[in-house]
Amino acid sequence: MAQEIDYAHDHQVRLLQGARELFPALIAAMDAARSDIQFETYIFDFTGEGASVAEALMRAARRGVHTHLVVDGVGTGRLPQDWADRLRAAGVQFRVYSPLGPLGLLLPHRWRRLHRKLCVVDGRLLFCGGINVLDDYHDPNHGRLTAPRFDFAVEATGSLVDVASDAMEQLWWRMQAVRDASQRRLPEAIEALRAASAASHAAKQDAARPGMRAALLLRDNVRHRSRIEKAYRRAIGAAREEVIIANAYFLPGGKLRRALVLAARRGVRVRLLLQGRYEYFMQYHAARPVYGALLAAGVEIHEYEPSFLHAKVAVIDARGARPWATVGSSNLDPLSLLLAREANVVVEDADFAIDLRNRLDHAMRHEGRSLDPARYAGRSWRARALDRMAFMLMRLALWLTGNRY
């Protein structure tokens, strides 16, 4: 039985597409901040518009706003020294989550990454989604892009802001405790753990206001190992008319694949918008062996072509009696669903769901290429061999982590 979602009805949630919509809203909120900014991201890249976000953080810190920044040790690595010096001088407190040691990713426990993208401003406003601090037209590995990256985030108010703030505060103090312990500062480490515990039990006193029905789903490796995947399976299982999923790195496990196949077989129109451009060997090729069963069941697959697809969103029965939508950081692949810290906002609101549906429908119709089952079946032996090799390597990697998928 899938875990119930603890929805509340006091939210306002606004959909944001790409950095071109997120960054101005994020910067405006930072410039209006009065007390504190909590910020977590997988990638913080200072090229182009990414620098504008860094400048906003520094402006806030110089005004006396308490500013915490956490970046991932793989996605970002060590901050460029000049930017690290500038952030430190401005008063921004920053930490790197799970920095890579001498052996790097050769150690399986290093594959557990901070992949969520969260920002809470003054404990009242949340930004959450799949968008890194990365210019829409810049890719660290591929250089200048001719079209913007396709991705989404949300701006939200309501009680889910408290959930995000508490989770970020706990992580901050646990990282502090680990650092103090590694430096043999045991009293400081114990105090940091007490602070993390206090953050997890902090009571919020804001009165609930009527609004949209929404919740924040967090995935970690302790208490919430499968919460996001179960929410997807539950929503797909309840679908009556339509399922649309846009996902950058799509390699769902057996249960999720079966949910999609069963939905298609009972007459639900299931459409997937997936990566159409080659970005990484493993993610590109390992996904393709699962396409056959989906296509055979009647699932429609569209490959996004103008630029890199980075979205991790879904909308189900947008025009039905129970619309459901999610926007977040979690891919439907084993790295996100089994290893990484992730965060997704789920919304049950017709206007929000229709807005997201319309944007995805436009992308599929005008910017995606439909994958014909005959063309998929007729791909070259070389492509099949690469797909199979990547799929087996992914399974081997999961075995090394002790996970089954």
- Give catalytic status of residue 317 as yes or no: yes
Q: What's phi and psi for 171, nearest 5 deg? A: -65, -40
Candidates 149, 142, 394, 363; CA nearest to 288 is: 394
Pairing mode, if any, of strands 269-275 and 242-247? parallel
* CA quadruple 234, 303, 361, 312: dihedral sign: positive
- Among this protein's residues, is 255 annotated catalytic? no
Q: Which of 244, 224, 223 is nearest to 323 (CA)?
A: 244
122 is catalytic: yes
Confirm whether 115 is a catalytic residue: yes
Cα separation, 150 vs 126, in Å, equals: 21
Candidates 122, 220, 355, 361; catalytic one: 122
| 342 membership: H or E segment, kind and range | strand 342-348
In sequence order, the β-bridge partners of residue 214 are 8, 347
Using alpha carbons, list the distances in angstroms from residue 219 to 299, 337, 403. 27, 8, 15
Q: Which entry of 72, 310, 333, 387 is annotated as an active-site residue?
A: 310
Please identify which of the residues 45, 151, 162, 317 carries the catalytic annotation. 317
Closest alpha carbon to 332 in 310, 353, 312 = 312
Give the distance from CA 63 to its chain's centroid: 30
Is there a catalytic annotation at residue 310? yes
Q: Which of 11, 230, 302, 312 is catalytic?
A: 312
Closest CA to 169 of 129, 202, 137, 147: 202
Q: How far apart are CA 103 and CA 110, in angstroms?
A: 9
**Which residue of the set 11, 68, 115, 285 is catalytic?**
115
Write out the two tokens for 310: 């980075």
Token digits of residue 33 = 């901040």
Residues linked to residue 68 through DSSP beta bridges, in sequence order: 38, 93
C-alpha 363/C-alpha 324 separation (Å) is: 19
The three-class DSSP label of residue 74 is coil
Tell me, yes or no, if 366 is annotated catalytic: no
Assigned token pair, 44: 């913080």
- Catalytic residue, chosen from 117, 230, 285, 302, is 117
**Residues known to be catalytic:** 115, 117, 122, 310, 312, 317
